[in-house]
């Protein structure tokens, strides 16, 4: 049957069969499907050991997030005051937020503690994930991982702060006045307000992660600045689609307010990618 196979395939097949015949030296699955060389400083590990590492990573992430949630839940009154601060721009006209459900105080407090716990424990969560990923990276990739984590966390906080101090108060004031212009009395519930605020701020923070993702792809040679510049119109369309998914309201003002910074960040990524490739070409020529 081997005469029907392509040239060279019979040799590969015989190697595989011979490996399975050797009971003392079975061939691992990753030895057959090997897509790249192993890292310089890492010896190959059995698949079950990788699963064990993944299990402990999940356990450490869950414990860290759980402790952060408990701490944030203990300060839920302070969290409520912080998230209700943007209502000061509206003034006393809005009145008090209405709690319609019997269990709203506990349920919403857990939601706030969860989101605040993610922000509080974000550096440790990234560290645990990096600790799991580092053995699978090459020496060059390891050198750029921790700076990327630091920049990612800084951009996330920057996006949250920009949304909280600038965009969120203006958005709340806009909807309040628009509701009054229709002759309606704005009566906002606690659940609706905190759902809007948390999704809006967290979504805006995640939107600021775009430069890290793009520059990582450029650094590893998956895309170039020429490709980014050529596909700029398609990127703008995708950014507006992403902003439509992230924004908690369907109005055009909020959509543009979230998509415009992402477009500016993408444009800055093009120039940074150009500088990175120019520096790389100079280092190669020298």
Q: Are 200 and 229 within one domain?
A: no
**Residue at 37 is within a domain:** no
Q: Are 199 and 78 within one domain?
A: yes
Q: Are 26 and 53 within one domain?
A: no
Q: 189: which strand partners?
A: 98
- Compute the Cα dihedral for 106, 110, 112, 116 and give only its sign: positive
Judge whether 211 and 272 are in contact, CB under 8 Å.
Answer: yes
> Which bin fits 8, alpha (ψ -120 to 50), beta or left (φ > 0)?
left
Question: Whole domain around residue 266: which residue ranges?
Answer: 209-286
Q: Are 15 and 84 within one domain?
A: no
Per-residue pLDDT in tens (0 to 9) along the chain, 286 residues: 444 444 444 454 454 445 444 444 444 434 433 334 444 444 555 666 767 778 888 998 999 999 999 999 999 999 998 888 888 777 666 767 888 888 888 999 999 999 899 888 887 887 788 777 766 666 666 677 777 778 888 888 888 888 888 888 888 888 888 888 888 888 888 888 998 888 888 888 887 887 777 777 777 777 888 888 888 888 889 888 877 776 666 667 777 777 888 888 888 888 888 888 888 777 777 6
Q: Are 201 and 246 within one domain?
A: no
Q: Are 96 and 121 within one domain?
A: yes
Total structural domains within the chain: 3
**Residue at 188 is within a domain:** no
169 three-class SS? helix
The two tokens of residue 29 are: 């699955």
Q: Are 23 and 68 within one domain?
A: no
Judge whether 72 and 112 are in contact, CB under 8 Å.
Answer: yes
Q: Are 26 and 127 within one domain?
A: no
Q: Are 157 and 51 within one domain?
A: yes
- Which pTM was predicted? 0.67
Q: Are 149 and 162 within one domain?
A: yes
- Could you tell me how far CA 233 lies from the centroid of its own chain? 23
Residue 149: phi, psi to the nearest 5? -65, -45
The two tokens of residue 182 are: 């229709």
Q: Are 89 and 110 within one domain?
A: yes
Task: Tell me whether residue 173 is exposed, middle or buried, using C-beta atoms within 10 angstroms of its C-beta: 0 to 12, 13 to 18, 19 or more.
Answer: middle
């Amino acid at each position: 049957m081997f005469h029907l196979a392509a040239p060279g395939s019979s040799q590969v097949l015989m190697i595989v069969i011979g490996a399975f015949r050797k009971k003392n030296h079975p061939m691992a699955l990753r030895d057959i499907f090997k897509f790249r060389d192993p890292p310089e400083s890492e010896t190959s590990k059995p698949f079950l050991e990788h699963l064990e590492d993944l299990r402990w990573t999940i356990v450490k992430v869950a414990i860290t997030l759980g402790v952060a949630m408990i701490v944030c839940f203990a300060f839920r009154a302070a969290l409520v005051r912080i998230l209700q601060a943007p209502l000061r721009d509206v003034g006393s006209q809005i009145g008090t937020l209405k709690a319609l459900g019997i269990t709203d105080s506990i349920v919403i407090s857990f939601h706030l503690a969860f989101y605040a716990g993610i922000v509080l424990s974000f550096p440790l969560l990234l560290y645990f994930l990096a600790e799991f990923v580092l053995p699978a990276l090459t020496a060059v990739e390891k050198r750029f991982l921790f700076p990327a984590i630091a920049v990612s966390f800084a951009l996330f906080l920057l996006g949250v702060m920009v949304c909280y101090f600038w965009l969120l108060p203006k958005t709340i004031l806009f909807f309040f006045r628009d509701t009054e212009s229709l002759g309606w009395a704005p009566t906002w519930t606690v659940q609706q307000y905190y759902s809007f605020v948390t999704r809006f701020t967290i979504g805006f923070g995640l939107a600021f992660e775009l430069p890290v993702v793009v520059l990582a792809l450029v650094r590893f040679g998956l895309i170039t600045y020429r490709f980014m510049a050529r596909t700029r119109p398609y990127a703008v369309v995708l950014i507006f689609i992403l902003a439509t998914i992230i924004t908690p309201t369907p109005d055009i003002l909020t959509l543009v307010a979230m998509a415009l910074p992402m477009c500016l960040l993408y444009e800055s990524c093009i120039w940074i990618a150009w500088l990175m490739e120019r520096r790389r070409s100079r280092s190669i020529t020298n």
